[in-house]
Chain A
Amino acid sequence: MQKQLLQGNQAIVMAAEAAGLKFFAGYPITPASEILHEMVSRKDIMVLQMEDEIASINAVIGASLAGLKVMTATSGPGFSLMQESIGLAHMMEVPLVIVNVQRVGPSTGMPTLPAQGDVIQCIHGSHGDYFPIVFYPNSVSELYTYTIMAFNAAEESMSPVILLSDGYISHLYETIVPHRDVEIRERSRLPLGMSNRHFTGLSHEDSMPKTSDVDNYRRLIAHLYEKQQVTARQYNHYEYRQCRKETDTLLIAYGALSRAAYYFKDDCALYRPVRIFPVVEEVKSIAPQYKRILVMEMNKGQYAHEIERILHREVECIPILGGRIDLDEIKQEIRQKMYE
């Protein structure tokens, strides 16, 4: 394939097409709108501009049950609206891909500036227990690769998979080589209209509602959890760079901000998760070599809490808020933490 200069959002659309996307429903929102714009020009993808994000996710749930590969794309406020139906899709085991191009929040926040504030919303936004797989690439080329992987992981786990991006990498232009060397997974379930199955968000057994059987509910949740864990293990993607110098600091960063973190490769070791949820287990074997763990992210410490929980030890958080990635500011923050 030839090299192409692509915007992050364009790369997502190209990759989705390569992965077999046939149905897209969405609602315009900055900074994710380019995905919708780009989609409408694709002849073999059915595109619906719905009345809101709730309708969008429900339309893709319907289309997915009808047998198509589906996707929707939004930003934080729209993602919040989708939460109830994300739970529904987990309960009904509907494969779909949700792209969340994050911007500064809460509420309308700063619509044109990047943030990483929806990280915890991915796993705790809907009610009840569910276990999504979440990818967060950090370049246009990676957006391409992980969009395809998100589709594959969705088909494998028969559940919604979230692809996180942010206003920074989605609006970035980079040269990439759109490759097609990843095997594309196909749907393993019959589409609607072929039998007499019932899909429900209620607790169920063999697809029929079972709302007062506690043991059955526990089996159902165990099944959903196990399925996600097995699939997630196929996608243990992360990046770990040891420092050439002796160092006792491990700097953890992901997504847009991890690009700024590379600047500190001579001062500390770097760890960048790409499949950010479930948290890649390898961090447990990497972390003990370092006395100090810094988690740098564009929120008030959402992933730092997850890392703390996984490692059972304290980590230090460097919140970079308001969408400004200023190297001098970050340098100051990191030096302060490292040498204080």
Chain B
Amino acid sequence: MLAFLIRRISQSAVVLLVMSLLVFVGVFYIGNPIDILIAPDATPAEYARAVHELGLDKPLWDQYAIFLKGALHGDFGNSFVYNEPALKVILDRLPATLELAFTAMFIAVIFGIPLGMVAGMKANHWIGRNIMRFSILGFSLPTFWVGLMLIIIFSVQLNWLPSGGRGETVMLLGIPVSFLTLGGLAHLILPATNLALFKTSLAIRLTRAGVQENMQMDYVKFARAKGLSETRVIGLHVMKNIMIPVITVLGMEFGSLIAFAVVTETIFAWPGMGKLVIDSIGVLDRPIIVAYLLITVTMFIIINLIVDIMYSILDPRVRLGQER
């Protein structure tokens, strides 16, 4: 286990280094942020001053070296636009995104897995077929369209829920959260549902396939023969087996929920990281873009690690130390 961890961490360091270089060079070649940031009537002297202050007059490699040196100390540089440490600007937005992603994941799990089990056991029943129809819709409808539909139906027409923003927040362990207030919860429902739609469909399909496969297995027949109740067979034995692929896939998907909630955050004016990075790309705020992508990569690495560990707990045949 320890050897596995050490190997994984050193691999991750290399991945991060390569990633930082790619992103840095890529953003450098898109253009010079100062052309967008500066007032158009600025004099050339003012232009030169701003370029110098932001360190944009140095050659690419110097800029990269400065960045790397800072990054090793946890300093990703100051955002050009906000004039505050890039990491701080991003971490300020992180709770909002995490809250949205967790809620979406929660919705996906509590609806997706039971629905998937029903669909698996009643595959030929009209209920099962309708669940599958729903999951096809969930897969194929574009997020932005569903988001706008949700707003039009629930905010504009019915006037039940707010159309965007985060609403009231309260502090929980020093982090602002909105799911503990009624107003905050009302703001959370639509974007979380929008974000959860795809993942719910995914959970339905994975669970259904798992159920159908496991129901044919000998251990199910054996358990039934032993006289175990149907609830116990499905709720414990089958469940445990189908959870392995479901956890693996949903775990990896959770990373993408956090990293790519961009569309949902933009449509619902949700003040999270996704919206921040889109705004930052628009004005080429390099420190934010680079820091954001590195944080995302780190997050994927950590999530994969956790998934691997959970996998080995659920299925003892998987031994972490011996994957070669």
Determine if chain A interacts with chain B.
Answer: no
B-side residues, CB < 8 A to A, are none
A-side residues, CB < 8 A to B, are none
